[in-house]
Amino acid sequence: MTDLLTPTPSSRRDFLRTLSLGAGATLAGTAALGAPLDWLAPERKLGVALVGLGNYSTGQLAPALQQTKYCQLAGVVTGSPEKAVKWQQQYGIAAKNCYDYKTFDRMMDNPAIDIVYVVLPNALHAEYVVRAAQAGKHVICEKPMATSVADAKHMIAAMEKAGKKLSIGYRLHFEPHNQEMMRLGQSQAYGKINHLAADNGFKFGSGGTPWRVNKKLSGGGPLMDMGIYCLQGCLYTKGQVPVSVTAKFAPNSNPALFKDVEAGISWQLRFADGTVADCRTSYTENMSRLRADAAQGWFELEPAFGYGGLAGKTSKNDGKLNLPNINQQATQMDDFAQCVLLNKPTRVPGEMGLRDVQLLEAIYRAAETGQSVSTKDVVQLIDRRSAH
Ligand code: NAD
């Protein structure tokens, strides 16, 4: 055990040889013993291929991949040959690692790509995750995982068949402020949580990406895009999956723009022990807040869900949470790379993505019918790691 925790130069060499034989070969035992990973310095970082070079890939993921320790930007998939050339020059990507949507499946023969990161409009996630599985790659899929429960289940089955790992791009599970909400809530640091509130939205405007208001491509409006963070926040703060939901669409102030998807929606989650969560999302309002009111105090984040500048406080002397803002995406991708290298489970697996798609569908059903919808049958999965 001591050897594993403080590797000698020769055990480190053996370890690196193991890595170079193939990612995730035989290291589960090491992870189980809680070996620190800082000495894990693979000679070849795992290669990540970004699929879809839109705003999130360009503005967040590619820059974050310049800061990762265990993975690197090795390839891209784009429908635009000009973008491919630009990215090759900007990031030193080999031309042989650039694909379009037709040649995508040839990645099967490319050992430089270990992880495929699907960053496409929501409705396209399923097709490309399944094709990545068939190409024998590990996958990170952006949120929401899919636009239907059936698609999410199909994706998980394809990844299982391939024997590869699937995670969802839930960056906030790796973010200190949100991890503190998990810890305070799940450990009941302020007693039992009686009420949760979560709001997340932005003003869509005319410059918004058109697929987000096209139901066929998005699966829905702000609930799919921004509301999913409220849902996640309530579940990981409470540490439970709700038992039922009610919901109501907001009035549509711009029917010309929001003709296919909701402009906003509010919903209430009910948990088995009586806790209620009030959530709201919108494409017409800027908001980002997560708050818990508990028996002996309260704790909250505002802003709660962005890429940076997150801040929080608690009722303890109105104390500010003194926590760092980190590069969430770099940390998220490095964590997944370690899961692959050490063959350990990700804390944000496909099953969590499926759980959330089940809940999103239930929220829409509740809003459409005006009825309370039972959520007792959804996947029972919570990230509990940060609670201790
Ligand atoms: P975007 O519109 O900026 O980029 C989408 C990319 O997909 C574009 O490069 C576009 O050319 C390509 N594409 C391929 N086929 C397409 C088609 N048929 N129609 C439209 N575009 C097509 O979108 P984005 O903001 O980068 O979002 C992409 C995904 O990432 C979404 O699932 C979104 O929910 C997710 N996302 C996650 C976060 C996060 O914080 N985790 C943030 C932003 C976006």
Q: DSSP secondary structure string, 239-278?
A: TS--SEEEEEEPP-S-TTTSSSS-SEEEEEEE-TTS-EEE
Residue 194 tokens, joined: 């009686």
* Rounded-to-10 torsion of CA 18, 22, 27, 28: -170
**Residue 40, pLDDT score:** 61
What is the reported pLDDT for 319?
84
Pairing of strands 244-249, 264-270: antiparallel
183 CA from centroid of ligand 1 (Å): 32
Residues sharing a CB contact under 8 Å with residue 106, sequence separation 6 or more, in sequence order:
99
Low-confidence ranges of the chain (pLDDT < 50): 1-36, 387-388
Q: Are 249 and 262 in contact (CB under 8 A)?
A: yes
Q: Which residue's CA is the nearest one to ligand 1's atom 35?
A: 142
Centre of ligand 1 to C-alpha 119, Å, is 5
Please indicate whether residue 312, judged by its CB atom, sits closer than 6 Å to ligand 1.
no
- pLDDT at position 21: 36
Structural domains of the chain sorted by starting position, each given as residue range(s) with its CATH number in brackets:
9-172 (3.40.50.720), 174-325+349-374 (3.30.360.10)
The CA-CA-CA angle for residues 226, 229, 235, to 5°, reads: 150
| Residue 329 CB less than 6 A away from ligand 1 | no
Check pocket membership of 202 for ligand 1, CB cut-off 6 A.
no
Residues marked active site are found at 143, 229
- Residue 349 to residue 355: CA distance in whole angstroms: 10
221 lines ligand 1 (CB under 6 A): no
CB 297 near ligand 1, within 6 Å? no
Q: Which residues pair with 265 in a beta bridge?
A: 249, 281
CA 121 to centroid of ligand 1, rounded, Å: 4
Q: Angle 112-116-120 (CA atoms, 0-180°, nearest 5)?
A: 140
* Residue 56 Cβ < 6 Å to ligand 1: yes
Distance from the alpha carbon of residue 92 to the mean position of ligand 1, in angstroms: 23
Strand pairing partners for 228? none
Using the mean position of ligand 1's atoms as its centre, give its distance from the Cα of residue 1 in Å: 45
* 27 CB near ligand 1 (under 6 Å): no
Atom 5 in ligand 1: residue holding the nearest Cα: 54
The first and second tokens of residue 180, run together, are 């503190």
Pocket test for ligand 1, best of 50, 117, 118, 120 (most atoms within 8 A of CB): 120
* Spatial separation of the C-alpha atoms in residues 105 and 118, rounded to whole Å: 14
Q: Extract long-range pairs of 37-43: CB within 8 Å, 24+ residues apart.
A: 37/338, 37/342, 39/7, 39/12, 40/15, 40/70, 40/338, 40/341, 40/342, 41/16, 41/69, 42/16, 42/70, 42/341, 43/16, 43/19
- In whole angstroms, what is the distance from residue 70 CA to residue 267 CA? 39
